[in-house]
A and B are shown apart, each in its own frame.
Chain A
Amino acid sequence: MGVQPSPGGALERNQESSLADVVNTILDKGVVVDVFARVSLVGIELLRADVRVVIASVDTYLRFADAVGRLDMGSEEPRDLTEVVEDVSEGASKGKSRGVLEAGAEKLQDIVGGGEREQEPAKRSGGRGGKR
């Protein structure tokens, strides 16, 4: 995995996608040549990235309030950026044929769940409240 920190450390280069990147940005894209007999979409239930994002709810607000309450306004200590990890949780299926897809769904949950080999572990978060 090529990761080249930039001089300032604010840019991380990933020349090979991590599992989270693949799930989030690649799996449901790309060409599907119109169906003919021998081409089949393998049964995969795609997991979409983080459904917990910015859904305005009381929980969201309380979390913001909590975050801003915990702030130490005196200190300018920057946080260690390596703390930032990808949160991947399950979302809507983009699959075509549900029947075949069931088994694949579990499989992808497995793969997303066990992200320990990634440089940015794909954590499963139970819900919107998941905090790094």
Chain B
Amino acid sequence: MSAQRQRERESGGEQGRRGVWVYGVAPAGAALRELERRRDRLPEVWVVDAGDLGAIAGPAPSDDERGTRDQALAHAHVLEAAILDAPVVPFRFGIVVGDAQDVGEDLLLAHHDELAALLRRVESRLQMTLKAYYDEDALLREIVEAEPEVARLREQLRDAPEEETREQRVRLGELVGAAVDQARERDAAALLDALRPVAVAAAPDPIEREYMVCNVPLLVERDRREEFEQAVEQLAGDHAGRIRFRLLGPMPAYSFIDVEEPRWA
């Protein structure tokens, strides 16, 4: 939809005052079929084209609604639908522009070269985020079996009163904690190595909880997505019972958008 048409739609409405929420930027005229198919469960979204770029945008929620859970999910879900059909440069959550004309002129035209370059960079690529978690008991059992000192302390503390054994318990915990860290380092490296052949780059994020192996956004070539997913399936099979996996995506390359030449470290 043209900026002009957009302006007409908006004229005089309350939306004009609230501004326009920008989700991201795609090539002008991109056929965003999945976005269309999911329209019932997504907020109202328009594409504002200017030149060869199109902004995926929509009415900004009122001030009270901007930071809500619904808006956070909407932002992610709109982009996740759009990326299925076109390259998308994701905008950070919370960017609001005055009106549709501003989207075309102040955003797309004024920042054309910058945005076009970013778009080229992610053109053929998607982000898939892999989260791997230990089965807590499986890992701890492994550690008890591998570390005689852990096993010994554990036995010793078994029926001892808590108040009198604090020092030994701290010692036991230190040993277990160190062993968990070692396992994580080893396993995370092995998992990433296994995915190296099927991904362009990895940008590991900090783990989110204690028994997490890794939390890794991976940049994947669109036409190798199936291959990548098969590799993850393979990992899940290989590590069944010990490590559980969640694979998120496809999503826009949120974690790689700032990177000039994404690659493996």
Contacts and interface: CB of A to CB of B under 8 A. Distances in A.
B135 to A, nearest CB: 6
A104 B247 CA distance: 29
B28 interface: no
A78 B242 CA distance: 9
B236 A8 contact: yes
Given A6-B233, A26-B251, A65-B176, A58 B92 contact: no
A86 interface: yes
A115 B89 CA distance: 28
Interface stretch (B6-14, B43-51, B71-79, B186-194): B71-79
B76 A107 contact: no
Interface in B59-74: 60, 63-64, 66-70, 72-73
Contacts of A9: 240
A39 B96 contact: yes
A108 B67 contact: yes
Interface residues on chain B, size class: 35 or more
A114 interface: yes
Contacts, number: 247
Contacts of A38: 97-98, 102, 106
Q: Which of B68, B114, B208 has the most CB of A within 10 A?
A: B208
Contact of B77 (A13, A17, A29): A17
Interface residues of A, number: 72
Contact of B173 (A25, A31, A60): A60
Contact of A44 (B76, B93, B107, B115): B93
Given A25-B217, A40-B96, A112 B69 contact: yes
Contact of B154 (A44, A63, A69): A69
B232 to A, nearest CB: 6
B67 A42 contact: yes
B123 interface: no
Contact of A29 (B92, B98, B106, B150): B92
Interface in B167-192: 169-174, 176-177, 180-181
B90 interface: yes
A30 B91 CA distance: 5
B158 interface: yes
Contacts of B69: 19, 108, 110-112, 114-115
A39 B76 contact: no
B68 A107 contact: yes
B8 to A, nearest CB: 20
A19 B177 CA distance: 29
A33 B257 contact: no
B206 interface: yes
Nearest to A27: B93
Given A6-B236, A49-B206, A65-B157, A17 B172 contact: no
9 contacts: A6-B236, A12-B247, A19-B72, A29-B90, A38-B102, A66-B173, A107-B67, A108-B67, A111-B69
Given A19-B72, A69-B158, A111-B69, 4 more contacts: A33-B114, A39-B96, A56-B177, A69-B172
8 nearest interchain CB pairs? A61-B173, A111-B69, A11-B236, A107-B67, A42-B94, A104-B67, A30-B92, A65-B173
